[in-house]
Structure 1
Amino acid sequence: MSSIRGEFSSRFGFIMAAAGSAVGLGNIWGFPTQTASNGGAAFVLVYLILAFCLAYPALMAELVIGRHGQANAVSSLQKLANSPLQKKFAFTVGFGGIICAGLILSFYAIVAGWMFSATVEPIAAVTGLVSTSTWLNTQSLPRDLIFTSLFIILTIAIISKGVENGIEKWSKRLMPALLSILALLIIYVMTQEGAMEGLKAYLVPDFNSLLDPQLLVSALGQAFFSLSLGTSVMIIYGSYISKKENLVSLGAYVTLIDVLIAFVAGLLIIPAMYVAQAQGVAIFSESGALLSEDTLVFQVLPALFTSMGDIGYFVGFAFFALMSIAALTSSISMLEAPVSYAVEKFALGRVQATWIIGGIISLVSFTIIFNFSALFGFVISLTTQFSQPLIGMLCCIFVGWIWHRNKLLAEIKNGHAEAESTLFWKVWPWYIKFVCPLAIAMVFIHSF
């Protein structure tokens, strides 16, 4: 099967691809924005707890389903079903995840288009193309349509190459570049006035806000969004993992890298906000609410870069190049979810399926652009705060209640022969059966 479907050629390749899916705008755009909007350090603390206590077990459930099924998300889930009703349930969960991935990519491509535009803008400014620089820096229908299209075409070009030559090859290149740029920018920002105040806001929590319903829902959604859970992505990536690999350690590596990058991204964005504030840029309203939540990095940071003088052009270019790379590592995984289903379900060629699915997602993106105020925030909330955690919860139910325990253990023992005697196996099966579904449900009930 792997010779037909493709397979990751190495452990490092899978970790970079899965981490690339996890480490995207959700970490570098979404996480700092959510942190600033939900009490700073309190949000960080809740996010870390939920990432390890709920997101990691759910990630393992999706990876195990995928490697066992060796197929697209719908087929992998249906292989676990024991009755016609369970097969219908499997289809609903798997196809729901695929639709969720497509919807996320539709708004993701718009934000990534902004990143592309912001990356090119300093080049235009340095070369004296003032009118072009202004156009690139101003939100408009032509700009958004052009750069959204460019981003989707680039994503299609990578996915059409397949697993090893597309997803794995580019993840290995993009992830190290992302980490290098991020580290250099943090070092620079930490030397600026106001950075220490931002660092305090980021690291010292207000414990009174820890149980705020909105904070809990936002943190849970962020944990699932950043790990690409509830989108069928990790089921697909799991299906490309060799039976010789240790899934337990692979899942732990991906979760650790994801959380680390999100945390480190916050070390850049939150102090940078306070540096900008120290230089006269308005960050918060009089009531303390964050201004320009969805477009934070496009309004606050360019003002900061401008205040740096000529070096600001280079810092701005490096930052938005970083954001563009982060967007691309995630978008290739989200497009893979519906493409793999189309290839296996309808016997389409990979290139043909990629362009068809990419075209459909482009139309959805354009619809959002033309109805931005009504649809952009709505699609983000629908997918990241509600659909992803709920679909992730249903995957946990599948593994915990439908998959026979002995068969589940047999799959995990592939590549990890001693799994039965480990703490993971003693805790995880009942944890995803009872704790994860109940905890996710309680967060939603509490929010209402």
Structure 2
Amino acid sequence: MAERETWATRLGFILAAVGSAVGLGNIWQFPFKTATTGGSAFVFVYLVAALVIGLPAILGEFVVGRRANINAVEAFDKLKHPAWTVVGALGLLTGLWILSYYSVVGGWVIRYMAGSVTGAYFATPAEYFGRVSMGWEAIAFHAGFMALTASIVAFGIEDGIEKATKLMVPSILVILVGLAAYAFTLDGAAAAYDYYLSPDFGYIANNLADIVPFAVGQAFFSLSLGMGAMITYASYLGDDDSLPADGSLIVVLNTFVGLLAGLVVIPLLFAQFGEVPSGAAGGGPGALFVSVADAFAQLGGLPGKALGFVFFGVVLVAALSSAISLLEVVTSYLVDNYGASRPVVAFGFAGGLFVVGTLSAWNTAWLGWFDTLAYGVLLPLSVLLGVIFVGWVYGPEAVDEIKKGTGGGETFATAWLWSMRTYVLVGVFVTLYLGVTGIYEAPPIPVL
């Protein structure tokens, strides 16, 4: 079997992990969830969740990946705990589940980039979304996005994923900073910042059960936790890398990008409508597309076209950076264990996921159902099992692993393990409970 690939540089790993974390989870889901779940109240709970639960959990996945030096599914067997292979398998299936409908949204983004050039959505943004988000056109763009994803993964770690994310992630940051600076100049920006950045703690206390599953689920989603991606990416690391330093930087950069996305979208909506439009707060996963497109349409002419093209361009880059990490999980598994051809695996699974995703492309009700199940059950369950394994089953070995490199001393390692065994475990369990109970209030499975 060929020698296993590694990251060419530490920066390559960090940017790839940030790229996996950033994606649509930050630029599509984060503003959308903010609008639907209490504005600044959601932002506050999300920030706490990302730091208090997300950071320890991502370090746990890094420990498993680097210690095993193999894909997410086989990692637990190599660590001599074969019964826990279910954790890696569930992560792989969760990532594939998400990618199947995530690709549909990626297809929407491509369509909106083209629509920005022509101004096609300017006249009737809601009707335009209804026309391009479902049916044969949506299926075609879904196929295009999946093909782009497979093409990058097919080139491998150093020549494909690392080179792509070294270009993608800095581009995302630069463009979002520029768009946020532009949004700062808009009328209504002050009211937008108040809505977005001034949490009402009374509201949080009274609505905690509604906010927590979405906020913590968003932290899992945006950090690519519970999908096998971070275990897989960490498996290409060397022992001299500092997991605490790298993990902290990844969480900070990811959170920064999420906040930046909100600083672009929320002021843009307030500038055009004086508030977050009611459609954006309750119109489903496509509502943000309609509201943002409407804002660009209000600008009209060349400014609206240019801003729309740039905005949806950065969303596309972010979407691809996450999608490649999800496809890499299953690709790595088959390449590691069966010596399979990387291009064949990448395009083969992309084709299978395209077929599954046609449900979401044909009817957005299916996409909403897939997303609800991922947020409410699959992600928190996968993360919970991983936290239990690292904290209570693999504890001493996990401590040894996290101390390698620099920045992971005895005191930090002990505190980290304690957090995994206590409040991180409780927080993830409560999130799973709230998510499962919330499923009963969700819309039923759509009819074909």
State the TM-score, normalizing by the size of structure 2.
Answer: 0.91
Q: Tell whether 2:163 aligns with 1:172.
A: no
Give the conservation status (yes or no) of the 8 Å contact 2:380–2:432.
no
Structure-2 separation of matches of 1:206 and 1:125: 39
Q: Deviations over 1:346-386 (max 9, x none)?
A: 3311111111111111111113323432x211110111232
Structure-2 separation of matches of 1:328 and 1:312: 24
- Report what 2:270 is aligned to: 274
Task: Give the C-alpha shift of residue 282 in structure 1.
Answer: 7.7
Indicate the SS of the match to 2:73: helix
- Report what 2:445 is aligned to: none
- Report what 2:421 is aligned to: 433
Q: Give the alignment of 1:133-148 within 5 angstroms.
A: 138-148=132-142
Q: Percent identity?
A: 33
Q: Tell whether 2:344 aligns with 1:355.
A: no
Give the conservation status (yes or no) of the 8 Å contact 1:41–1:204.
yes
- Report what 1:380 is aligned to: 371
- Report what 1:338 is aligned to: 330
Structure-1 separation of matches of 2:141 and 2:92: 24
Task: Give the C-alpha shift of residue 56 in structure 1.
Answer: 0.7
Indicate the SS of the match to 2:3: helix
- Report what 2:219 is aligned to: 223
- Report what 2:287 is aligned to: 296
Task: Give the C-alpha shift of residue 135 in structure 1.
Answer: 9.4
- Report what 1:410 is aligned to: 400
Indicate the SS of the match to 2:409: helix
- Report what 1:284 is aligned to: 278
Task: Give the C-alpha shift of residue 254 in structure 1.
Answer: 0.4
- Report what 2:209 is aligned to: 213
- Report what 2:431 is aligned to: 443
Task: Give the C-alpha shift of residue 19 in structure 1.
Answer: 0.2
Task: Give the C-alpha shift of residue 326 in structure 1.
Answer: 0.7
Give the conservation status (yes or no) of the 8 Å contact 2:129–2:289.
no
Indicate the SS of the match to 1:24: helix
Structure-2 separation of matches of 1:272 and 1:216: 26
Structure 2: stretches of 5+ with no match in the other structure: 438-448
Q: Tell whether 2:95 aligns with 1:101.
A: yes
Structure-1 separation of matches of 2:45 and 2:103: 28
Structure-2 separation of matches of 1:139 and 1:426: 49
User: What do you get for the CA RMSD once the two structures are aligned?
Assistant: 2.3
Structure-1 separation of matches of 2:41 and 2:201: 6
Q: In structure 2, what residue type is equivalent to 1:143?
A: E
Structure-2 separation of matches of 1:425 and 1:241: 19
Q: Give the alignment of 1:151-170 within 5 angstroms.
A: 151-170=145-164
Structure-1 separation of matches of 2:434 and 2:170: 40
Task: Give the C-alpha shift of residue 110 in structure 1.
Answer: 0.5
Q: Tell whether 2:414 aligns with 1:420.
A: no
Give the conservation status (yes or no) of the 8 Å contact 1:121–1:136.
no
Q: Tell whether 2:259 aligns with 1:263.
A: yes
Indicate the SS of the match to 2:422: helix
Structure-1 separation of matches of 2:79 and 2:392: 11
Structure 1: stretches of 5+ with no match in the other structure: none
Q: In structure 1, what residue type is equivalent to 2:299?
A: M
The count of corresponding residues between Structure 1 and Structure 2 is 429
